[in-house]
Structures are given as structure tokens and as C-alpha cells.
Structure 1
């Protein structure tokens, strides 16, 4: 096999870039960025841009279990 499972030679779809939207301010990015924060809330992934993450750092850290700090 020369391509990963689900590749075009198996009739699968080629992965498209994922459009991310900041859950707080609505700014978009075409792919995950290293400065963005991903949060799983109620089983759903939410992304926050670097500006919103910095502005709300205390609130984000306040929700972490003590095992994380």
C-alpha cells in the first residue's frame, strides 16, 4: 500500500483543511495553530484564539484539575 487508509486509491475522501472558529470572538483559521487553545466542554471541542486565550488565562487555569498544576 502506498497511501494511508482512506486515501484516494481506496475511494476515500482526501482530508480537507479544517476551518477553526474561535468560540469566543469568532475569528477563523484554516488549520490548528500552535498558539490556539483547544478545550473539550460537554464532549465537544472548542477552540480559542491566542488573544482570547491570553485575556482569559486565569479562568482557563481555574478550571483545571489540581493534577494539572
Structure 2
């Protein structure tokens, strides 16, 4: 639990990179509008556009009374 959080970075940058489309965040931390997921023990970030696309795909599979 005392381990330092490591953020995914691009090949030549210290900035977080979207795991789906590869866009790089402007700062050294992902913007609040980005989504974060831990998959197979790895933290991945998704830019706002990719996060919205994923959320819409999930919502489209739900019955309308669920959302």
C-alpha cells in the first residue's frame, strides 16, 4: 500500500497516454475528465472521448429503466 502510483507514459514523455487512442495528456497527471481503469494489475487511462465512447457502449446494453 505504500507503493508509489506510477502512471502510464508515452515512449518519450512523462505525460499519461490514452490506452485506446494514444493521445497524450498535457500535464504530468491525467485531467479530471479522463477515466482510469485497473486491468490485470495495470493502471490505464482513457481520454475524455474514449471514455465517453466506452460509457455509451455500456449504457446501450442496459434496459432503459437502468439509466
For Structure 1 versus Structure 2, the TM-score category normalised by the shorter chain is: 0.5 to 0.7
Which ranges in structure 1 are unaligned for 5 or more consecutive residues? 1-17, 62-69
Q: Secondary structure at the match of 1:40?
A: strand
Q: Which runs of 4+ in 1 moved over 6 A?
A: none
Q: Which residue of 2 aligns with 1:38?
A: 36
Give the deviation of 1:25 after TM superposition. 0.2
Which ranges in structure 2 are unaligned for 5 or more consecutive residues? 1-13, 60-67
Q: TM-score, normalised by structure 2?
A: 0.57
More strand by share: 1
Structure showing greater radius of gyration is 1
* Number of residue equivalences: 44
Comparing both chains, which one has the higher relative contact order based on Cα–Cα distances under 8 Å and sequence gaps of 6 or more? Answer: 2
Render the CA deviation track for 1:4-54: whole Å, top value 9, x for unaligned: xxxxxxxxxxxxxx5100000000012221100010000000000000000
